[in-house]
Amino acid sequence: MARKHLLSDLAGPKSHLESNNGSQSHEHSPPQYAPRGAIGAVSRSIELLKSQSLVDLDPDLIDAPSVTDRLDEDGEQFEEFARNIRENGQQVPILVRPHPSVEGRYQIAYGRRRLRAVKAAGFQIKAAVRALSDDELVLAQGQENSARQDLSFIERALYAAQLEANGFKRSVIMAALAVDKSNLSRLVQAATQLPADIIRAIGAAPKTGRDRWVELATRLGKETAVDVARQVLSDAEVKALPSDERFVRVFDAAAPKKTKKGKVEVEVWHADDGVKAATFSQDKRKLTLVIDKKAAPEFGEYLMSVLPDIYASFKKTKR
């Protein structure tokens, strides 16, 4: 499908004047300026949804697409939105397409938060049903997001990486996110350098920009830092914090340990079975070995008992 015809089925039939000479339909009207190409088509299509007939659907019949564009909201933010839906009803329809592989079901293009709130309220959901290809669905998601609350940096990055992993062409992803090739590469790189479960546990973090996320990826590259981050995010107190504050907790916990000038860094010794049995530090004058009696009970006593044999073997190798 040529890009200029993307979502042309949403626009509905042309008027009699439009189907004839274009100069007649605009003879007494000022010139109109609108986005061109695929994004322009999607923009015009979404505006037309308001004037077209809608259907009421059972929310349980609507599935998420293979790639979702937003992370889940913090509980408090969503509850406020859901309360408004319960009290005032659904004001803006969602856009769905017939499910490409399951008869009688649908996939949502945009309006996931509205769907979740309406479902929680026990209502039927107002939806426009359109036949959309995978590319058209992605473009519709992108245009809707640009018209409403912007995606945060990490949402854009995760969305771009998921789209690429699902085989979408970069030209489609760039159009959906309104970015150029270099910025798209930065988004994908940022998302792929971070564990997906940590991104989702932190959330959208709308006030946290690219540089901080990139720095977090660097910090999580250190040994045991990912485990520390997951431990922080599993804490009930941290889970209750707003998304940006969860990011700060993880960011600080993953910071490299500072050592005083001249202080020797302590390293962990791992046994073959993974037990962290000892820590050690060394400088030009000495090596200090500390046995963790909790992690390896009786290992220290055993080591002391065989130390004479170890030293004797060492002396033989020196001869």
User: Structural domain of residue 58, as residue ranges?
Assistant: 1-20+34-149
Mean pLDDT over residues 23-27, rounded?
A: 37
Q: Judge whether 67 and 163 are in contact, CB under 8 Å.
A: yes
For residues 8 and 135, which has the higher predicted lDDT (pLDDT)? Answer: 135
Structural domain includes residue 40 = yes
Largest CA distance in the chain: 106
Nearest-CA neighbor of 291 among 302, 116, 299, 227? 299
Residue whose entry in the numeric block shows the structure tokens 């009421």: 56
Distance CA 318, CA 129 (A): 82
Q: Quick one: CA dihedral 101, 106, 109, 110, positive or negative?
A: negative
Structural domain includes residue 308 = no
H or E segment and range at residue 108: strand 106-110
Mean pLDDT over residues 268-294, rounded?
A: 82
Which of 42-46, 233-237, 270-274 is predicted least confidently? Answer: 42-46
CATH classification at residue 12: 3.90.1530.10
For residues 218 and 148, which has the higher predicted lDDT (pLDDT)? Answer: 218
Count the domains in the chain: 2
Which of 29-38, 57-66, 211-220 is predicted least confidently? Answer: 29-38
66 and 141 housed in the same domain: yes
Which of 200, 235, 255 is the C-terminal boundary of a domain? 255
Which amino acid would we find at residue 111? G
Mean pLDDT over residues 204-223, rounded?
A: 87
Structural domain includes residue 238 = yes
Structural domain includes residue 235 = yes
3-state secondary structure of 170: helix
3-state secondary structure of 229: helix
Helices 153-165 and 170-177, axial angle in degrees (round to 10): 160
Which of 90, 118, 149 is the C-terminal boundary of a domain? 149
166 and 236 housed in the same domain: yes
Structural domain includes residue 266 = no
Q: What global pTM score does this model have?
A: 0.45
Q: Is residue 89's pLDDT more than 80? A: yes
Structural domain includes residue 94 = yes
Structural domain includes residue 282 = no
Which of 235, 255, 275 is the C-terminal boundary of a domain? 255
| Bridging pattern class, strands 125-129 and 55-57 | antiparallel
Structural domain includes residue 289 = no
Distance CA 68, CA 79 (A): 21
127 and 10 housed in the same domain: yes
Which amino acid would we find at residue 155? E
108 and 142 housed in the same domain: yes
